[in-house]
Structure 1
Amino acid sequence: MDLNLRAAVIHNIHENTQQELEDTIVDAIQNGEEKMLPGLGVLFEIIWNNSSENEKKEMLQALEGGLKKS
């Protein structure tokens, strides 16, 4: 079976509104299910690839700060 996870995730959400995308992200995080992690990874990849260098630095700072709190 040839499964392209990126394509499947993008296909499932490509017409979602901002609110639906937020709901998807919040639900995936609150559920804490391991099976949701690849989908969140695809979403992060899209965000990363569409962010400026300044936005990437901000994300990395937020990530570093969040990891230090853990």
Structure 2
Amino acid sequence: MGLNLRNAVIHNVQGNNQEELKATIVDAIQGGEEKTLPGLGVLLEVFWNHASQEEQKVLLETIEEGLK
């Protein structure tokens, strides 16, 4: 299968504004479907690659706290 999931997810949201991106994320989380998890992972990767060290630290602290 020649599908590149990462590129497909990025293509599907490229050019979206903040409200559209938020709607995509909220819909994926509220839908609770396993098939949306890879897409959320791609968006997390985009965030991580463009975040400052401080933003990454805050994200990790938030995730760590949420897992307690």
Question: TM-score, with normalisation over the residues of structure 2?
Answer: 0.98
Identity %: 63
Q: State the Cα deviation string for residues 7-31 of structure 1 (Å, max 9, x = none).
A: 0000111011110000000000000
Tell me the distance in 1 between the aligned counterparts of 2:33 and 2:49: 25
Q: How does 1:13-52 map to 2 (within 5 A)?
A: 13-52=13-52
SS at the partner of 1:3?
A: coil
Residue by residue over 1:45-70, the C-alpha shift from the partner in whole angstroms, topping out at 9 and shown as x without a partner, is 000000000110000000000000xx
CA distance in 2, matches of 1:60, 1:11: 27
* Equivalent in the alignment of 1:11: 11
What stretches of structure 2 of length at least 5 have no aligned partner?
none
List runs of 5+ in structure 1 lacking aligned partners. Answer: none
When normalised by structure 1's length, the TM-score is 0.95
Amino acid at match of 1:8: A
SS of the residue corresponding to residue 45 of structure 1 reads helix
Segments of 4+ moved more than 2 angstroms: none
Alpha-carbon RMSD? 0.5
